Structure 1
Amino acid sequence: MAENELLSERVAGGILPRVLTTFDMVAIFVAIVLFITNAAVIQSAGPAAFAWWIIAFALFLVPCAIVTGQLGAMFPGEGSIYLWTTKAFGPFWGFFAGFCAWWPGVLVMVATGTLTISFLGYVFPGVGGLPVQAQGGLVVVILVLAAVLAVLRFRLTQNVVNVVFLAYGLAILLMFAAGIAHLVKGNPAATNPWDFAAWSPSAEHGINFANWSFFGLAVLALLGVEVPLNMGVEIRQERAVTRYLLWGSLAVMVAYLVATWGVMVSVPAGEAAGITAVAQAVGIGLADWAGKLVALLLAAMFFIVTVVYNYSFARLIFVSGLDRRLPKAVSHVNAQKVPDVAVWIQTVLAGVFTVVAFVLAPLAATNPADAQTQVYNVLQAAVTVIWCLSIVVLFVDVLIILRRYRDQFEARRLASPAVFWVASIVGALASLVGVVATLSGSWTPLISNDAGSVTVFGAEIAYGTWFWLVGGIALASLVVGALLYLVGLGTSRST
C-alpha cells in the first residue's frame, strides 16, 4: 500500500461499479444543494434578496466549487471530505470531519420527508390537516420507501433521479413563467423586484452588517457542494468532477434567482415566506391546477431528494467500515453492489428522530404541534451548525494538501495556489457566518433567543434559549463523533 493510502482507496473501486456520468452528477448536486423552498423563505429580505443571493454565490458557492474541484481532481476516491481530511490531518480528524459531514444528512432526510408532506398537503388539504403523529408516520413511510429505492441497482435508481430532476427543472421554470404571466395580465408586482434602492445600506433590508442574517440564510441554502464526491470512485470519467461543479453551480444560481423573482412578483408579501409559496406563485400567475401540478412535482422531487441524501451519505459510513473506523458490517454491499447496510442504518436513525419529533415530544406537551415544531427546528439547526463547521474543515484541508502533496497538485493543478488561499479564507469566513447566524436567529417564534446580544461590526448576535439548545446539541453531537471513533477503533483491534 502506498504511503498514506487508505484501504478504501484501494478496494472501493473494485467493489462499486462506475456508473455516474456528468449529467448524473449534476442531478445529484442539484438534489443536494437546491432546496427551492429557500426562494420563498428569503422573501422577508424584499428586493434585497437578490443582492444577498449574489453575495452568497460569490463568497461561498464559488469558493466551495473551486476547492472541491481541486481536491476531487487530486483524490477522486470514495468519501470526499472523509478522505481529504484524512490526507491532511490523519485518521482521527478524517473520521471526525466525515462524521460532521454525515450527521446532517441523516436529519435532513427527516426535513425532506416533511417537505414532501407539506406539498402533498397543498394539493390534498386532508394530508396537511392530519394530526402531528400521523404526519410523523407518513414521514417514516417516506423514509422506508426512499431506502428501498436507494438499495436497488444504482443505475436504475439514478435513472429515476434524473427523470424527476428534469421535472424539477420544469417546476422552477413554471415559477418564473408565473411571474411573467402575472405582470402580462396587467397586475402590479406584489413586491417590486427592480427596486434597487432596497439594496442600499441605509434601506431596511439593505446590504449592511446589521442584516447579516440574510447572508447566513443564503449560505445555509448552498450547503452540500462536496457531497456528490462521496461517490468519487463511481464516476465514469475524471472530467465529470469539474464539469458537475460548473454546470451544477450555474443551475443552482439560476434556479434560486428565477424562483425568488417569480414568488416576489406573484405572491403577496405577507404570504411569500411560506414554504409552499413557490407553488402558490404558479397558482396565482398561471392557474390553480398549474400550482397544484408544481406542488406534486415538488413533492416527488423532495421524495427523490430523500433517496439521494440516503445513498450519498451512506458512502461516508461505508468507507469508514472499509477502513475499520466502524464495524466491518457497515461496509457490506448487496447483490446490486450498493452499500445496503449503511443505507438502512441511516434510515433507522432518521426514523428514530422522526418518532421523537413527531410522536414522543407532542405526547409529552400541552400543545403537540408546538412541541413538534420546537424539537424539529432545534435538531435541524444543530446539524446545520455541524455541517457548516465541516465546510470550514474542507477549506483548511485544501491548504494543507497543496503543501503536503505538491507532486499530485502540479499534476492535476486547476489554478494558482493563490486562488485556493483566497477561496479558502473567504469561504471559511462565510461558513462561520452560517454557524453564527444559525445560533443567533431562532427558526421559530416558539423558542426565544432574547437573553442578550453582542454587536460585532454592526451585526447583532443574539443569545438565549435557542442559542443554548442548538449549541448544546451540536456540541454533544461532536462529542458523540469522537466517541464513535474510539469505539470503532476498539472494535477494529478486537477483530
Structure 2
Amino acid sequence: MTDDELLSERVAGGILPRVLTTFDMVAIFVAIVLFITNAAVIQSAGPAAFGWWIIAFALFLVPCAIVTGQLGVMFPGEGSIYLWTSKAFGPFWGFFAGFCAWWPGVLVMVATGTLTMSFLGLVFPALGELPVQAQGGIIVLILVLAAVLAVLRFRLTQNVVNAVFVAYGLAIVLMFAAGVVHLLRGNPPATDPWDFAAWSPSAEHGVNFANWSFFGLAVLALLGVEVPLNMGVEIRHERAVTRYLLWGSLAVMVAYLAATWGVMVSVPPDRAAGVTAVAQAVGVGLGEWAGRLVALLLAAMFFVITVVYDYSFARLIFVSGLDRRLPAVVSHVNAHKVPDVAVWIQTVLAAVFTVAAFVVVPFASATPADAQTEVYNVLQAAVTVIWCLSIVVLFVDVLIILRRYRTQFEARRLASPAVFWAASIVGALASLVGVVATLSGSWTPLISNDAGTVTLLGARVAYGTWFWLVGGIALASLAVGALLYLVGRAHARTR
C-alpha cells in the first residue's frame, strides 16, 4: 500500500464481485443521466431547444466524458470522484467532494419516485387525485421497494435494470415515431421544429446570452456522467470504462433530440412543457392505448432509475466507511456482497424528506398541494447546485492528477494534456452556468425571485426569495458535509 493509496482501493476489489459489462455500464449511464422528461421541460425554448441541446452536448457532456474517461482508466477504483479528489487534494476534500456528489443522489430518489407516480397517474387517474399526503406514502413505498431490489444479488438486479432499459429505448423510439405519424397524417406540427429562424440571437428564445437559462437547463439534464464509476472495481474489463462513455453519451444525445422533436410536433405548446408530455405525445400520434403503454414503461423506468441511484450512490458512503471517514458499519455488505447498510441509510433519508415534503409541511399549510410543490422544488434545486459544484471539482481534479501522476498518465493517456485543459475549462464554466441558472430561475411560480437582477455578459441573473432559499439550503448542506467528516474522523480515532 503506497503513501497515498486509500484502504478502499486495496480492499474493495476483494469484497465486491466483478459483474458489470459494457452493456451494463451503458444501461447505468442512461439511467443516471437521461431523464427523458427534460425533453418536455425544454419545450418552452421552442425550436431553439435543439440549438441549446447541441451547445450543452459540446460544452458539457463531451468534456465530462473526456475527463471521466481519463480519470477512470488511471484510477478505476470504487467511488469515482471521492477517489479522484482524494488523490488530487487529500482525505478531507476527497470526502467533501464525495459528499457533494452523494447528497444529490439521495434527494433525486425522491424525484424519481415522484415521476413514477406521475406516469402511473396518467394511466390510473385515481392515483393523481389522491391527497398529497397519500401520494407521499406511495412514494415512500416505492423507495422501500427500490431498496429491496438494490440489495439483492447485483447480477440479478442489473438484469432487471437492463430489461427495463431496453423498454425505455422502445418508449423513446415511439415518441419519435408518434411525431412522424402525426405529420404523415397531414396534421401541421404543433410547433415547427425546422424553424431555424427561432435560433437567431434576435429571436425571443434565440441562442444568446439573455436566454442562457435554457443552456443551464440542458446542463442540468446531463449531470451524472461520472456516477457509473462509483462501481469501478465491479467492472469486468477496463475497456468498458471508455466504451460506456462513448455509447452512453451517443445514446443520451440521440434520445434527447428524438424525444424533443416528437413532443414538439405532436403536443400543443400550452401542454408541451409538462413532464408527462413525453407520453402524451405518443397518445396524440399513435393512439391513446400507445400513450398509456409508454406511460407504464416510463413509470417502470423511473422506478428502476430509483434502484440505480440507490445502489450507485451507496458506493460513495460504502468506501467512506472502508476508509474510516464514516463509521465502519456503513461499509457492511450482505450475503450477496452488496453494501446493504449504505442502501438503507439512503432510503431512510429519502423517505424522511418525502414525508417532510408530502406530509408534514402540507399538513401545516392551508394549501397542501402548493406547500408540497414549494418544498419539493427548493430541495431539488439546492441539490442540483451542489451536484454542479461537485462537477467543477471533477474538472479541477484531472488537471492536478495529470501533473502529480505523470507516469500513470503517460502509461494510460487518452489524449494530450491540452485536450484535458480545454475540456476542464469549458466544462467547469458550463457547470457554473448550471449553478447560476438554478439560483436565478425559480422552478415554480409559487416562489418569487424578483427582488432584483444583475447583468453579466448580457445575461440577467435574478435574485429574491428563491435565490436565498436554494442558496441557503445548499450552503447548509455543504456545512453538514464538512461536519460529517470531522465527526467521522473523531469516531474512527475512538475505535
On whether the aligned pair clears a TM of 0.5, the verdict is yes
What does residue 94 of structure 1 align with? 94
Corresponding position of 1:421: 421
Q: How does 1:139-154 map to 2 (within 5 A)?
A: 139-154=139-154
- Secondary structure at 1:61 match in 2: helix
**Cα distance in structure 2, aligned partners of 1:411 and 1:334:** 37
Which residue does 2:410 correspond to in 1? 410
What secondary structure does 2:306 align onto?
helix
Q: Secondary structure at the match of 1:47?
A: helix
**Aligned equivalent of 2:193:** 193
The yes-or-no answer on 1:436 pairing with 2:436 is: yes
Tell me the amino acid that sits aligned with residue 3 of structure 2. E
In structure 2, the residue matched to 1:171 is 171
Is structure 2 residue 189 aligned with structure 1 residue 225?
A: no
Deviations 1:261-308 (Å, cap 9, x if unpaired)? 000000001100000000000000001000000000000000000000
* Distance apart, 1:352 and its partner CA: 0.2
Q: Which residue in the other structure is 1:38 paired with?
A: 38
1:267-416 alignment runs, 5 A limit: 267-416=267-416
Alignment identity in percent?
A: 87
- How far off is 1:334 after superposition? 0.1
Partner of 2:453: 453
Match of 2:237 in 1: 237
Give the Å deviation of 1:21.
Answer: 0.1
Deviation of the 1:2 alpha carbon: 1.2
Distance in 2 between residues matched to 1:402 and 1:268, nearest whole Å: 50
1:112 aligns with 2:112: yes
Letter in 2 for 1:256: Y
Q: Distance in 2 between matches of 1:129 and 1:297?
A: 21
What letter matches 1:487 in structure 2? V
| 1:315 counterpart letter in structure 2 | R
> Take 2:459 and 2:368, find their aligned partners in 1: how far apart are those partners?
35
- 1:462-473 correspondence to structure 2 within 5 Å: 462-473=462-473
Distance 1:3 1:69 in 2: 25
Residue 216 (structure 1) shift:
0.1
2-side partners of 1:452 and 1:494: how far apart?
Answer: 50
Measured in 2, the distance between the counterparts of 1:129 and 1:69 equals 46
Q: 1:3 Cα deviation (Å)?
A: 2.4
- Secondary structure, in 3 states, of the residue corresponding to 2:271? coil
Corresponding position of 1:65: 65
Letter of the aligned partner of 1:68 in structure 2?
T
Once the two structures are superposed, what CA deviation does each residue of 1:464-489 show, in whole Å capped at 9, x if it has no partner?
Answer: 00000000000000000000000000
**Whole-angstrom distance in 1 between the partners of 2:85 and 2:181:** 49
Residue 194 of structure 1 aligns to a residue whose secondary structure is: coil
Partner of 2:272: helix, strand, or coil?
coil
SS at match of 1:454: strand
Distance 1:152 1:189 in 2: 46
Secondary structure of the equivalent of 1:192? coil
Q: Name the amino acid aligned to 2:214.
A: F
Q: Where does residue 206 of structure 1 map in the other structure?
A: 206
For 2:416 and 2:104, locate their aligned partners in 1 and report how far apart those are by CA, in whole Å. 32
1:156 aligns with 2:156: yes
Any idea what SS the aligned residue of 1:445 has? coil
Separation (CA, whole Å) in 1 of partners of 2:3 and 2:248: 34
TM superposition shift of 1:317: 0.1
1:296 & 1:125 partners in 2: Cα distance? 13
Partner Cα separation in structure 2 for residue 270 and residue 449 of structure 1: 23
AA of the residue aligned to 1:319: V
Q: Give how far 1:222 is off.
A: 0.1
Q: CA deviation at 1:224?
A: 0.1
Shift of 1:132: 0.1
Q: Secondary structure at the match of 1:270?
A: helix
- Equivalent residue letter for 1:171: A
CA distance in structure 2 between the partners assigned to 1:241 and 1:3 by the alignment = 26
Partner of 2:184: 184
CA distance in 2, matches of 1:322, 1:3: 17
2:140 and 2:485 map into 1 onto residues whose CA distance is 29
Q: Counterpart of 1:245 in structure 2: which amino acid? A: L
Letter in structure 1 aligned against 2:213: S
Distance 1:226 1:50 in 2: 24
2:490 corresponding residue in structure 1: 490
Write the deviation string for residues 106-132 of structure 1: whole angstroms up to 9, x where unpaired. Answer: 000000000000000000000011100
Matches of 2:220 and 2:364 in 1, distance apart?
Answer: 31
Give the corresponding residue for 1:19.
19
Give the C-alpha shift of residue 354 in structure 1: 0.2
CA distance in 1, matches of 2:305, 2:405: 35
Whole-Å separation in 2 of the counterparts to 1:117 and 1:44: 24
Q: 2 CA distance for matches of 1:485 and 1:69?
A: 28
3-state DSSP of counterpart to 1:271: helix
SS state at 2:460 partner: strand
CA offset digits 1:238-272 (Å, max 9, x no partner): 00000000000000000000000000000001100
Q: 2 CA distance for matches of 1:486 and 1:214?
A: 39
Aligned pair count reads 495
Give, in whole Å, the separation in 2 of the partners of 1:127 and 1:468.
34
Structure 1 residue matching 2:455: 3-state secondary structure = strand
Q: Indicate the residue corresponding to 2:29 in structure 1.
A: 29
Q: Hey, which bits of structure 1, 4+ residues long, moved more than 3 A? A: none
Counterpart Cα distance in 1 of 2:372 and 2:188: 38
Q: Secondary structure at the match of 1:447?
A: coil
Deviations 1:17-39 (A, max 9, x none): 00000000000000000000000
Partner of 2:80 in structure 1? 80
* TM-score normalized with structure 1 length: 1.00
Cα distance in 2 for partners of 1:438, 1:42 equals: 14
Residues 302-333 of structure 1 show CA distances to partners (whole Å, capped at 9, x for unaligned) of: 00000000000000000000000000000000
- Aligned equivalents of 2:28, 2:396: Cα separation in 1: 25
Residue aligned with 1:334, SS: coil
State the superposition RMSD in angstroms. 0.2
TM-score (norm 2): 1.00
